[in-house]
Amino acid sequence: MRLPIILALMPTLAFADPRVDAALDTHILPAFEQLSMATKVLADAQTCAPHAEWQDVTQAWLAVSHLRFGPTEADNRAFGLAFWPDPRGAPPKALRTLLEQDPLDVSTASIAGRGVYALEFLLYDPAFVDDPRRCDVIKALAEDARTTADEINLDWQDRYADLMRGAGHNDTYQSEAEAVQELYKALLTGLQFASDTRLGRPLGTFERPRPKRAEMRRSERSLANLETSLISLRTLASILAQSDTNVQAAVDETFARALSRAQNISTLTGGADLSLVSDPIGRLKVEILQQDIDHIREVITTQLGPLLGVDAGFNALDGD
């Protein structure tokens, strides 16, 4: 009687869409495991100045920051790790509350006072350097980040990956197409965030550039964050395009152009923190980079979308 039972289970175990399998095995699961490992190193450091460890955690987060679904979104975990942009400028206020708290309890903190962006303030903003509670809060936030990253990683490893592999046999993904569309949505949303937010916020307008709105400008990671995110998005795009070498080549070419331009900008004065947007020539270079990213989005929607069977009216922001 065992063989019929095994055969009945096989559709959920052996016939996942190969693109979903590849995305999970070579992109999603290793990246979340790396994030978990990086936060462990940060927490275990137990130091008041874990700059290198924080950099590694930030890199690891950016590699998964576009995967805003499933375990990442449960219980606001993503916001607990990385709350940005914050139009109200809440992190300093939230951190002041933590610094004055006795006993210290991060679990009660606002999400604006948690995660890698809050840690950047404590590590790089002169306003916090001399606070006597700074070291305690850094250690507590590092431990909090480890807990959150571990929860996300375990949820992916123990539950959510199987839901995606078993698409068509569960209520979360009622068809294989829905699982593929989830990945496509993550890709497009990540590219839109790169263009509209990572570059669009500091660009502001020609009359009023806003360099102080650049992501992680205090640590001069603004452009590096964009590059890390694009590299990870390129990996996902290449996986989704694997069934058509022409589409895959077009995707790779557009990503390569944007990454090359970003690398060139990073060598310029004011490139790392995007403060060069205040200069008309520097601004033009960043605008061209933004256009490069928008061109990637165009290739994704006009070539990769049809390859995946995604409707032309698909909206990356709501999935419709």
224-242 pLDDT, tens per residue?
999 999 999 999 999 999 9
Three-class secondary structure of residue 110 per DSSP: coil
Three-state secondary structure along 130-189? CCCCHHHHHHHHHHHHHHHHHHHHHHHHHHHHHHHHCCCCCCCCCCHHHHHHHHHHHHHH
What is the model's pLDDT at position 89?
Answer: 84
Describe the crossing of helices 176-193 and 280-299 by its angle, rounded to 10 degrees.
170
pLDDT digits (tens, 9 = 90+) for 5-28: 444 444 444 467 999 999 999 999
Describe the crossing of helices 134-155 and 115-124 by its angle, rounded to 10 degrees.
160
What is the model's pLDDT at position 311?
Answer: 72
Q: Is the pLDDT of residue 194 over 60?
A: yes
pLDDT digits (tens, 9 = 90+) for 77-131: 999 999 999 878 899 999 999 999 999 999 889 999 999 999 999 999 999 999 9
Retrieve residue 85's tokens.
Answer: 């942009």
pLDDT digits (tens, 9 = 90+) for 253-281: 999 999 999 999 999 999 999 999 999 99
Residue owning tokens 């576009």: 66
Domains and CATH numbers, the chain: 16-165 (1.20.1420.20), 176-308 (1.20.120)
Could you count the other beta carbons within 10 Å of the beta carbon of residue 292? 20
Comparison of pLDDT for 3 and 118, the residue scoring more: 118
Retrieve residue 277's tokens.
Answer: 């947007």
Q: Is the pLDDT of residue 319 over 90?
A: no
Average pLDDT value for the chain? 94
Cβ-contact 252, 245 below 8 angstroms:
no
